[in-house]
Amino acid sequence: MRGIQIIAENKIGVLRDVTSIVAEHGGNITFAQSFIIKYGEYSGKALIYLEIEGGDFDKIFNSIKSLSLVIEIQEEKPFEQVFGKRVLIFGGGALVSQVALGAITEADRHNLRGEKISVDTMPIIGEDELAEAVRAVARLHRAEILVLAGGLMGGKIAEEVKKLRKVGISVISLNMFGSVPKVSDLVVSDPVMAGTLAVMHISEKGEFEIEKVKGRKI
């Protein structure tokens, strides 16, 4: 897997031309993102980032470089090699910080041994807002597990948790009121422990597997 970062003119057809070159030389795009740069020297230009497996990488790189609308191109390490697997933590600020304490401490232990695990937090309240955030996790690159930290969650949030689990992302819930604990993979009373277990579950070297305790409360 190799990454390419491209800065190009913000014109119609640039992404089409780039992806056509990748396909022409036998490459398979496993991840892509594109957005407009807002600040600095390249403000208003398009940044395109691709992760590619297979194909003739040198021909792909040089063919893209030769496009008239491409300003700059460089090879980058894939995100998984830089940031690794992601732990997501949503909920009330005080509880989110406690879950993050456990997750960050445990991730540090694993990362010192050569793994790459990152921890993302978002303090957020409100059924609609949390439901939207949970639904969006399925679209996040490298997302492996979600921890929901709050005192009351249910309704739309629980429905989105069910959908998220169907796409293979595990969900840990704190022991709270509402229906979310009933539909989560694991319910944990201690927020610090919840963060610790989340990291241990996605770690390649951890000895904890949610599948073995699925549906339990601890």
Which of 143, 126, 167, 9 shows the shortest CA–CA distance to 84?
143
Q: How confident is the model at residue 153 (pLDDT cuts 50, 70, 90)?
A: very high
The first and second tokens of residue 83, run together, are: 């940031």
Residue whose structure tokens are 């919840």 = 194
H or E element: which one contains 130?
helix 127-137
Percent of the chain whose predicted confidence (pLDDT) is above 70? 94
Query: Residue 204 has what pLDDT?
Result: 85
Positive or negative: CA dihedral 199, 202, 208, 211: positive
Which of 123, 126, 106 shows the shortest CA–CA distance to 115?
106
Query: Residue 107 has what pLDDT?
Result: 96
The first and second tokens of residue 135, run together, are: 């639904």
Q: Are 161 and 135 spatial neighbours (Cβ–Cβ below 8 Å)?
A: no
Bridge partners for 143 per DSSP? 86
Q: In the chain, what are the domains?
A: 2-77 (3.30.70.260), 83-212 (3.40.50.10550)
84-96 residues labelled b (16+ CB within 10 A) or e (exposed): bbbbbbbbbeebb
Which of 14, 18, 12 shows the shortest CA–CA distance to 64?
18
CA 96 to chain CA centroid, Å, is: 17
Q: How confident is the model at residue 70 (pLDDT cuts 50, 70, 90)?
A: very high
Positive or negative: CA dihedral 147, 148, 151, 152: negative
User: What average pLDDT is seen over the chain?
Assistant: 94
* Residues 168-192: tens digit of each pLDDT: 999 999 999 999 999 999 999 999 9
CA separation, residue 24 to residues 7, 17, 19 (Å):
21, 10, 9
